[in-house]
Structures are given as C-alpha cells and as structure tokens.
Amino acid sequence: MKKLLGNLKIFAKIGILIPIITIFLGGMSFLSYLKASNELGNSIEHEMSLLADHVSNSVENKLHAHNQLIYSAKSAIETADNSMSREQFTRFVEQLLPLNKETYGMGLWLEKDAANGEIFGPYAYKDGEKIVYTDVYQDPAYAFHQQEWYKNSLQSSDIIHTEPFFDEALGEMFITFGIQVLKGQTPIGVITGDYVLESIQSIISEVKIRESGYAFIIDDKGTFLTHPDVKKVNKETVQDYLKIPIEQIAGDKKLIQTVVNGKEYTLQYKQIQGMPWKLILIVPTTELYSEVQAMLYQQIIVSIILICVISVIIYLIARYIRQEVRTINGHLGNLATGDLTQRMSINTKDEFGEMAQYYNDSVDALGTMMKQIVAETDTVASTAEELTASVQEVSKSVTEVAVSMQNVAENTSKQQTVSNQLTSVTSALGEDMHFAVNALDSAVQQSATTSQIASGGSKQIRAFVNEITELHTQVENSANLISSLKNQSVQIEKMSELISSITDQTNLLSLNAAIEAARAGEAGKGFAVVAGEVKALATQTSHASQDIATVVRTIQEQINEAVSMMEQSRKIAHHGIDSVQQAGSTFDAISNAIEDLKQMIERTSTNTSNAYEKLHDMTSKVQEISQQAMATNDHTLNVSAITEEQASTMNEMAVASEQLAQLAQDLQEETGKFTI
C-alpha cells in the first residue's frame, strides 16, 4: 500500500476518497432500502391482514344475524303446542323478517305425515315494505320433498346452505339456509331462509385499498360470488382471472404475488368462518411499495448531491494542499542549491504555516552556522600545517629508538631460548625419573600382593583337592544308589505284569459269572449286578496296571541315563584330582619365585628415589635462571612494542594532520557555495 500510494501525487491521493465515499453512500442507501422494504412489507402484511379481518367479520356478522333468525323460527315452531297453519306461519314471518334486512324470505316445509298427508310448504318474502305470501312451492310439480336442499336440511341438526343461485325474475343472487324441525326427537320438516348476496356485495364494494385495490369473495370452486365487476359474478373463476390454481389459495392470512395482464399484484386471502368461501384482497404491488420507491429515489438524489458537495470540498482542499506543497518544495529546492537568503511568507496558522515558520527558523540557524564555519576554517587550515611539521620530526626520533630496542630484544630472546631448552631437558628427565619411582613402588606393591595371592592360591588348591576327592566319593555312592533303584524298578515292572495277569483272570471270571447269572434267570439278577461291578473293577485295575507299567518303563529309561551320567562323572572327578594336585605343586614354585622378585624390586626402588631427589634440585635451579631470562625478555619486548606503537601513532598523526589540512581546504570550497 505504501509503495502504491508513494507513486501518486497528493491531488490523486485525496481524490481516491471520492469513489470510496460514493461506494459508502451507495451501500448505506442500499441497506436502508432493504431495511425499509422489510419493514414496509411487514406493515403491508399487517395492514391487509387487519383489513381482511374487518371485512370478513362484517360478512360473518351478517350471515350470523340471518342464521339467528332461522334459529329463532325453528325454536318457535318446535315449542308450539300444535303444528302451525299456513296463516299462523305467515303472521309469524311478517313479524320476523323485518328484524334482518338481508333476509329475503322464509319457508316452512313439512313432511306429509306431519301435515296430515298434505303438501305443506308456505313461503313468505319481502316485496318492498310488504310481506307477501305464496303457495307456488306447494305445487306437486315442484316436489320439494325430492329437492336436494330439503333432503340435506332434514338430516342436519345444524344450519346448512345451498350453492349460490341467480334468480332471473328478481335479478339477484341468493343462497338458501336450512335446518331440520323436530317434534320430540323426530324430524318433521325443514325451516329455510333465503339470503340476498347483494348485501355482501355492498360490503365488499366499499373496500378500497390504496388507489385501485379492491376485494371479492369466491366459493370453494373458485367462482366469483362478489366482485366489483358484476359481469364476473357466478360466471368466471379466480383461476381464469388470476391465472393461479385454487389450491394455492389455502390456509389463512397469506400474501401471494401474481401477475394479471402484465401487472404485478399482491393478494391477501382469508377463510370466511362457517362458509366455504374465501375473502380475497388484491392491490397492485407498485401502489403498496410506492413509498419505498419514493424513498429510494430521494436517497439516490440526496446521495448524488452529497457526493457532488463532498467532491467539490475535496477538490478545494486538494488544490489548497497542492499549492502549499509546491511552495514548500520550491523553497526546499532553493535550499538544496545553497541559497540561504530566501524566506517563506507565513499567511496561515495551520500546519503549513507552522512548516513555513520552522523552515525560516532552520534557514536562519543554518546561515549563522555557516558564517561561523567560514570564519574558523582558515584557523583550522594553518594549525593543521604546523601540526604536520611537528609530527614528522617526532616520528623520526621515535623510529631510531625503536631500532635500538629491537636489537636488545633479539639478544635477550636468544638467552631465553637456551634457558628454556635446558629447563625442558631437566623437566623431561625429572618426569621420567618420577614415573620410574612410581612404577617401582607399584611393582613392589603388586609383587607383595602377588605373593599373598600365590600363597592363598596354593592353600585353595589344597582345599580344592580335598573337596574333589570327597566329591568323587559321593559320586561313587550315588552310582551305587542308582543301580539299586534300577533293580527295584525291575521288580516293580514284574509286579505290574502280575497285576495285569490277575486282572485278566478276574475279567474272565466276571464274564463266566454273568453267563451263569443269565442262565439262572430272575434268581441270578443280583449276582449279575455283582458280576458287572467286578468286571468294571477289573477293567479299572487293568488300566491302572498299564499306567504303572508305562511309568516304570519311563523311570527305568531315566535311571539308565542317570547311571551312564554318574559313570562319566566318576571318571571326570578322578582326572580332576590328578590335575589339581599338579596345579598345587606349580603354585608352590610360583610363590617362591615371586618372593625373590619382590626383594629385588624393593632395592631398585630405593636407589631410584635417591637419584630423583638430586635431579629435582637441579631442575629447580635451571627454572630460576629461565624465569629471570624470561622477565628480562618481557621487559625488553614491552619497551620495543611501546616504541613501535609511538612510531605508528606519530605516523597516523602525520597522516591525520595532512587529512585535516585537506578537509579544511575542502570545507572552504564547500562553504563558498552558500549564499549567506
């Protein structure tokens, strides 16, 4: 980022803010639009839901009032002591119909048995302000007992209704509601009331949503029951009009988006309680969201104005900064050429004004410094020339002293070398003598130890001979014992063979006893059991004798191997006794020889120790001489080194003084470039 911005001018850097601010404002406007759309969508759904509830409640209230009128007539008819006559029903209806404006007419339809075999179907309806009675429906040709609405109502304890139908004579849409009339628990007829759908149409036609939104009602098949366009009522379906399937309009209080004649609409629908009808509210989507679109346009316009204003402000600020930076760069360019006479004018109190003030102060301080440098440069040049001459004379004297000290150091070094060689020889000889003395002492100790070991070994050999002899005796006894065991195992084997023979005979006897018991019949059954047990015991004995024979054979084989091994051990022990006796004799001879060697080594060690002490004294004297020569040589080398360092330092001082003179001359040339 730093490398990328470093290649741009200040004007371009500040200009980058314009697209950033544009993107920021655009993003904020878009987020605000989305939030407003969501909030407005929720508000619209709530508004249309409330409207649907209000309209549906109005329709349900009117239908409820009509149904209550029917329930009142049903209750009066059922509680009457006797069946109503046509005149009584007419007078009753004349009092009842004015109670509900939307109820057009009512009829009482009785079964023939309840009407004494007559066709009883009086019907009274409104004709303006009058109540008119008619008996046209009692015509046998009409046969209301065979009508579907009569059959369904006769079987229902709740009010049911027919499909909406259009009366061409009156030019109105009607719907008939009916319920059974009981005498005790027996249905005797039906009470009906006709309802004019025009009243519902008046409620629906008053619904206005935004500018052109409206409402209508459809039945469970999608046919229009009410619609602002009366030509569509009971003729067209919502499937044809909205191009959506009836199944999509399900549930309650839902919003649906659809397109009608190329225009997008929003639908809200609600089920009418107690009826297979649905109330549908429809309004153009653009009218619902016109506020959001207007707000979006306002935000876009405001954003464009803000972007333009911000761009102008950024441009003015960038131009001002560019002018100030160019002014500062111009004065810095003059300063780079050595011109210290230029000053910046201070017209502002911002950071650029502070930079101008700091620049002027820096130029003033630099001018004062340059004046001092020019004044002192001449003095430095003359002093450097005098210092160079003095350093050259001192350097010559120091060089002569250094040569003399080098000669002395060479002679002292030769003396030290000879002393070191003599010290090395005596030291090496002393170390050899010391090693020899230590070796002899170790030899004396080892010879004494060896003599003791040899004596002990001789005693151990004698004891070992005695132990070997005793072991040989024990081996002989063990061999005799094993031979005795071998003879006894042979006897056991013979006894096992005898037991096997007895077992075979016992088995044979048990077989004969079983045969005799079989011949004896019932009297020999007890004897047969005993014979069976004897046979079983003989079999077990036979198996045990065979196991004993197997074990005995195994013991005989192992005893034979033990006899063979004991014979070999006896031979080995006999040879061992002879060998140990010879080793004992040899150990005695070795012990005597070691004792003689021990005495000889002790005498040699004493003589060597005396010679080592004398050589040690001589080595100490030679080392004292070598140390004195070394100290003399060190002092000489130190003096020589110091002299050489002084000579080198004087040479460096001479070079430095020459460089100082040259620097003073260069400084005079450089200061001459500045204009003060």
Inform me whether the pLDDT recorded for 408 exceeds 60: no
| Residue written as token pair 């075979």 | 504
Q: Tens of pLDDT along 321-375? A: 777 777 888 878 877 777 777 787 777 777 777 788 887 888 788 778 877 777 7
Check residue 429 and give its pLDDT.
Answer: 61
Check residue 120 and give its pLDDT.
Answer: 93
DSSP state, 339? B
Check residue 407 and give its pLDDT.
Answer: 65
* Number of Cβ atoms within 10 Å of the Cβ of 139: 11
Backbone torsion region of residue 261, taken as left when φ is above 0, otherwise alpha when ψ lies between -120 and 50, otherwise beta: left
Q: Are 174 and 165 in contact (CB under 8 A)?
A: yes
Q: Which of 201, 208, 258, 207 is nearest to 233 (CA)?
A: 201
Give me the DSSP letters along 587-616: HHHHHHHHHHHHHHHHHHHHHHHHHHHHHH
Q: Which residue has the higher pLDDT, 254 or 108?
A: 108
Inform me whether the pLDDT recorded for 186 exceeds 60: yes
- Structure-block tokens of residue 197: 């759908």
Check residue 443 and give its pLDDT.
Answer: 63
At 577 the three-state DSSP class reads helix
Burial class (CB in 10 A: 0-12, 13-18, 19+), 326: exposed
Q: Are 166 and 134 in contact (CB under 8 A)?
A: no
Q: Which residue has the higher pLDDT, 622 or 171?
A: 171
Confidence of residue 519 (pLDDT cuts 50, 70, 90): confident
Check residue 612 and give its pLDDT.
Answer: 65
Q: Which of 185, 162, 191 is nearest to 75 (CA)?
A: 191
Check residue 108 and give its pLDDT.
Answer: 94
Helix ranges, 244-350 (H): 285-288, 290-336
Inform me whether the pLDDT recorded for 605 exceeds 70: no
Check residue 69 and give its pLDDT.
Answer: 92
- Structure-block tokens of residue 238: 């919502």
- Range with the largest mean pLDDT of 39-48, 205-214, 582-591, 612-621: 205-214
Query: Which residues on adjacent β-strands are paired with residue 190?
Result: 109, 180
Supply the pTM of this predicted model: 0.45
Q: In this structure, what are the phi and psi dihedrals at residue 100, rounded to the nearest 5 degrees? A: -135, 120
d(CA 666, CA 212): 97
Confidence of residue 402 (pLDDT cuts 50, 70, 90): low
Mean pLDDT of the chain: 77
* Number of Cβ atoms within 10 Å of the Cβ of 317: 12
The predicted model gives 605-619 an average pLDDT of 67
Confidence of residue 412 (pLDDT cuts 50, 70, 90): low
284-292 LR contacts (CB < 8 Å, sep 24+): 284/210, 284/211, 284/212, 284/213, 285/257, 287/209, 287/210, 287/211, 287/212, 287/213, 288/40, 288/44, 288/210, 289/37, 289/40, 289/44, 291/40, 292/33, 292/36, 292/37, 292/40
Confidence of residue 436 (pLDDT cuts 50, 70, 90): low
- Range with the largest mean pLDDT of 233-247, 451-465, 523-537, 560-574: 233-247
Inform me whether the pLDDT recorded for 151 exceeds 90: yes
Inform me whether the pLDDT recorded for 122 exceeds 70: yes
Q: Which of 382, 392, 337, 340 is nearest to 361 (CA)?
A: 340
Inform me whether the pLDDT recorded for 629 exceeds 60: no
Amino acid at 376: E
Confidence of residue 311 (pLDDT cuts 50, 70, 90): confident
Q: Which of 202, 215, 228 is nearest to 272 (CA)?
A: 215
Inform me whether the pLDDT recorded for 209 exceeds 80: yes
Contacts with 253 (C-beta within 8 Å, 6 or more apart), sequence order: 49, 52, 53, 268, 269, 270
Check residue 182 and give its pLDDT.
Answer: 92
Q: Tens of pLDDT along 6-50? A: 556 666 767 777 788 888 877 887 787 677 777 777 877 788 888
Inform me whether the pLDDT recorded for 159 exceeds 90: yes
- Structure-block tokens of residue 519: 């011949």
- Range with the largest mean pLDDT of 212-221, 462-471, 482-491: 212-221
The predicted model gives 275-303 an average pLDDT of 80
Q: Which residue has the higher pLDDT, 534 or 199?
A: 199
Contacts with 187 (C-beta within 8 Å, 6 or more apart), sequence order: 111, 154, 155, 180, 181
Inform me whether the pLDDT recorded for 531 exceeds 90: no
Q: Are 539 and 506 in contact (CB under 8 A)?
A: no
- Give the chain's domains with CATH numbers: 36-289 (3.30.450.20), 395-670 (1.10.287.950)
